[in-house]
Amino acid sequence: MSARLTETTWLDAHCEVTFAELASLSGLAEAELRELVEYGALAPNDPRATQWTFSGECVVLARAAQRLRESFDLDPNALSLAVGLLERIRALEAELRELRAQLPRRVR
């Protein structure tokens, strides 16, 4: 059992992956990813670019999409809807967390 120091990568807006990398990391086929982009569930950094790239946040989303497709047998349309709703929930939860953080502790 080795214990060498492992470096890590943040999956955030500063991390950039190619289309092929996104497919490989998420386990989704490129055709499925293209449909998720078409339906607006995933956004390339520059949709007009000839070679799409995506932020690290898209890796998290695409992996969630793969799990949902696998677990619920969703077609691309339903999958896009589910991913879009999950993303809205995530944004609302972040907003709620921010508002809660501003409440004095005794009235929370």
Residues near other proteins, by CB under 8 A = 1-12, 14, 25, 27, 56, 59-60, 63-64, 67-68, 71-72, 86, 94, 97-98, 100-102, 104-106
Nearest to 57 by CA among 104, 15, 3: 15
Cα-trace Rg, the chain: 17
Closer by beta carbon to other proteins, 4 or else 48: 4
Q: How far is the CB of 102 from other proteins (least distance, A)?
A: 6
Closer by beta carbon to other proteins, 48 or else 106: 106
Q: How far is the CB of 94 from other proteins (least distance, A)?
A: 7
Please work out, in degrees rounded to the nearest 5, the angle formed at the alpha carbon of residue 67 by the alpha carbons of 60 and 45: 30
Give dist(CA 33, CA 43) in Å, integer. Answer: 10
Q: How far is the CB of 60 from other proteins (least distance, A)?
A: 5
Strand partners, 55: 16
Q: How far is the CB of 52 from other proteins (least distance, A)?
A: 19
- How many CB atoms are closer than 10 A to CB 15? 14
